[in-house]
Structure 1
Amino acid sequence: MKIIALEEHMLPRDVMQSAGVDLGDRAGKRAAELDDLGAARLAVMDDAGVDIQVLSALSYFVQGLEPEGSISVHRELNDRMAHTVVTYPDRFRAFAALPMTDTSAAVDELTRCVDELGFLGAMIHGQTSNIFLDHPSVRPILAAAVRLDVPIYLHPAPAPAVVQEAYFSGLAPEVEACLSTSGWGWHAECGMHVLRMVAAGVFEELPDLKIIVGHMGEGLPFHLDRIESMLSPVITGQSLTVAETLRRNLYLTTSGYNSDAPLLCALAAFGVDRVLFSIDYPFGNSKQATSYLASAPVSDVERQQIAHGNAESLLRIGAA
């Protein structure tokens, strides 16, 4: 079975060092795997049966840099991914990293990456300097994605300091770090981020905008009926309900989730056409993820859709 994995991270040590960025404990423990774009990564892919990784820079470390530093760092990250794709054309594709503190530069970089480097879209990590993607200042970036006909992968990122302090302080440092990120906080905020975009009318203005979220939908499938009954009645003047909008504009990946309940919930809420396979490399276990995919309680046709068919359709990935 062909397998395409969509949320597979990289972060070159030398680029981060030149930017003066500390990866912290969590990403720091994976620094060698994030840095490697060759033999070691390919060995993990081969062992797990992954045919193609769609690379993405773990760029929330630099997404909020001031424009004068951000533009060059993001260009270097994208050039590094592009070199990897050219070196291993059958094994890798890429999502662009964007300098979100300079809207015009972000539009230019997305356009360069898609038109010149052949990238499949972009990955944006949460809010930038307390600005979410529903803010009017960000609209040119989203409009560029529509014009280029590529998706935006919305990945979680650390919460603003005021949220961090209010919700997650007062705990043991390791517990606070996990609870505020991969243990809960990231997913709650990313799901809320998508709902802000719906409520603000982003998808009414840009009905062809395609957004991908990972982690089996960041809680949205589980809460969708409640969202529809509570939130839709208070959002007026839109042509679709919240659930209808999400089912039109949102795609989900399995990244980091390898069990029946969340998968079946995502399939029931959004349909198999909207669910794509991901691992969350190097934070997710590649062999575990592909083994679960092979045994998941879905039909063979659905398994093929999740494994590669939906990615090929959405991202226009040809045969490897």
Structure 2
Amino acid sequence: MLGKDGLFSTDPETHVKEIQDITDIRLRHADKHGVGYTILSYTAPGVQDIFDAKEAQALAVEINDYIAEKIRAFPDRLGAFATLSTRDPAEAATEPRRTITQYGFKGALVNDTQRAGPDGEDLIFYGKPEWDIFWQTCVELDVPLYLHPRNPTGVIFEKLWKDRMWLIGPPLSFAHGVSLHALGMVTNALGLACKKTIREYFNENIWITTSGHFSTTTLNFCLAEVGAERILFSVDYPFENFSDACEWFDGAEMSTGTRAMIGGKNAKRLFKLEDYKDCRAKAI
């Protein structure tokens, strides 16, 4: 059932409404809990689970056009990441360029590996040399790629996770998938050039978010390892709720400067945001 304020609920029907809603319920949550700006993305498994190349690309374009129209009236409250089909590096590079130029999107997001092949059992990672054209586009546009986890499917599910169901998702498989991508790309670069250490690549190229993981112990570890300037506050709504995320963050012990960076300054710089609602409010 809905709460007294008509907002968050664990009721399945309400959760479906929250998933399908783009602006109304989301902005009511944001207003109540002091979130000034939200970047939207297409949820997992997303286009990465579609292994027909034409279907995947058509869906990516459709989603991007759809969300651009939905958020057009809220430039100071809502932005979006481009949805991508990652079957082909050159094709994958077209949607960030189109959507950033045409719609002002703030970057792009992919949901783990791209399924490919006639039966969908081939997996495409993004760290091989043929992907240089895609990464060069991101560099030229000066936007980030959000590497988002998703539940394992296909042969990976059957061989690794079928008998370990309780480890799927946040307990382990999400971290496993993202780490395999990120560390794979970093070590590929090391193997080709050996110009930097793994820590240097992390310090210069990778940001992390609090999305869906509201733990002060974990945050303190990340602060010690990557620094406050590389962490972004995020909720992971509608899979997590605003109250859990915001009440935790507001109550977590940290300096005023750290709270200001994680709570907004880092995102404003990374995504090159114009002024948004309450962006000049002081952290306490």
TM-score (norm 1): 0.75
What is residue 217 of structure 1 aligned with on the other side? Answer: none
For residues 147 and 237 of structure 1, what CA distance do their matches in structure 2 show?
Answer: 21
The code of the aligned residue for 1:257 comes to H
Give the Å deviation of 1:62: 2.4
Q: Where does structure 2 lack aligned partners over 5 or more consecutive residues?
A: 1-11, 116-122, 277-284
Give the Å deviation of 1:301: 1.1
Give the Å deviation of 1:134: 0.7
Matches within 5 A, 1:291-310: 291-310=247-266
Give the Å deviation of 1:108: 1.4
Give the Å deviation of 1:166: 2.5
> Would you say 1:241 and 2:234 are equivalent positions?
no
What is residue 79 of structure 2 aligned with on the other side? Answer: 93
What is residue 52 of structure 1 aligned with on the other side? Answer: 37
What is residue 183 of structure 2 aligned with on the other side? Answer: 195
What is residue 211 of structure 1 aligned with on the other side? Answer: none
For residues 116 and 285 of structure 1, what CA distance do their matches in structure 2 show?
Answer: 31
For residues 98 and 141 of structure 2, what CA distance do their matches in structure 1 show?
Answer: 11
Give the Å deviation of 1:298: 0.8
Quote the RMSD (CA, aligned, Å). Answer: 2.0
For residues 78 and 64 of structure 2, what CA distance do their matches in structure 1 show?
Answer: 13
Q: Where does structure 1 lack aligned partners over 5 or more consecutive residues?
A: 1-26, 205-234
The code of the aligned residue for 2:224 comes to A
The code of the aligned residue for 1:111 comes to R
For residues 312 and 292 of structure 1, what CA distance do their matches in structure 2 show?
Answer: 21
Give the Å deviation of 1:105: 2.6
Q: Is the 8 A contact 1:59 1:97 kept in 2?
A: no
What is residue 313 of structure 1 aligned with on the other side? Answer: 269
What is residue 22 of structure 2 aligned with on the other side? Answer: 37
Matches within 5 A, 1:96-111: 96-111=82-97
The code of the aligned residue for 1:188 comes to H
Matches within 5 A, 1:1-320: 30-65=15-50, 66-129=52-115, 130-170=123-163, 176=165, 178-201=166-189, 237-320=193-276
Q: Is the 8 A contact 1:84 1:92 kept in 2?
A: no
For residues 150 and 116 of structure 1, what CA distance do their matches in structure 2 show?
Answer: 15
Give the Å deviation of 1:44: 1.5
Instruction: Between the two structures, name the one with larger relative contact order (CA 8 Å, sep ≥ 6).
Output: 1
Q: Is the 8 A contact 2:87 2:124 kept in 1?
A: no
Q: Is the 8 A contact 1:64 1:101 kept in 2?
A: no
Q: Is the 8 A contact 2:44 2:150 kept in 1?
A: no
After the TM superposition, list the runs of 4 or more consecutive aligned residues in structure 1 that deviate by more than 3 angstroms: 27-31
Q: Is the 8 A contact 1:33 1:41 kept in 2?
A: yes
Give the 3 Å change call, closer, same or farther, for CA 141–294 of structure 1 in structure 2: same
For residues 61 and 316 of structure 1, what CA distance do their matches in structure 2 show?
Answer: 26
Give the Å deviation of 1:263: 0.3
The code of the aligned residue for 2:146 comes to Y
For residues 224 and 263 of structure 2, what CA distance do their matches in structure 1 show?
Answer: 18
For residues 241 and 19 of structure 2, what CA distance do their matches in structure 1 show?
Answer: 14
TM-score (norm 2): 0.84
Give the Å deviation of 1:30: 4.2
For residues 267 and 46 of structure 2, what CA distance do their matches in structure 1 show?
Answer: 27
Give the Å deviation of 1:98: 0.6
What's the CA shift string for 1:55-93, capped at 9, x where partnerless?
A: 111153322432221222111211122113212122101
For residues 104 and 192 of structure 2, what CA distance do their matches in structure 1 show?
Answer: 39
* Percent of pairs with identical residues: 30
Give the 3 Å change call, closer, same or farther, for CA 193–58 of structure 1 in structure 2: same
SS of structure 1 residue aligned to 2:39: strand
For residues 313 and 96 of structure 1, what CA distance do their matches in structure 2 show?
Answer: 19
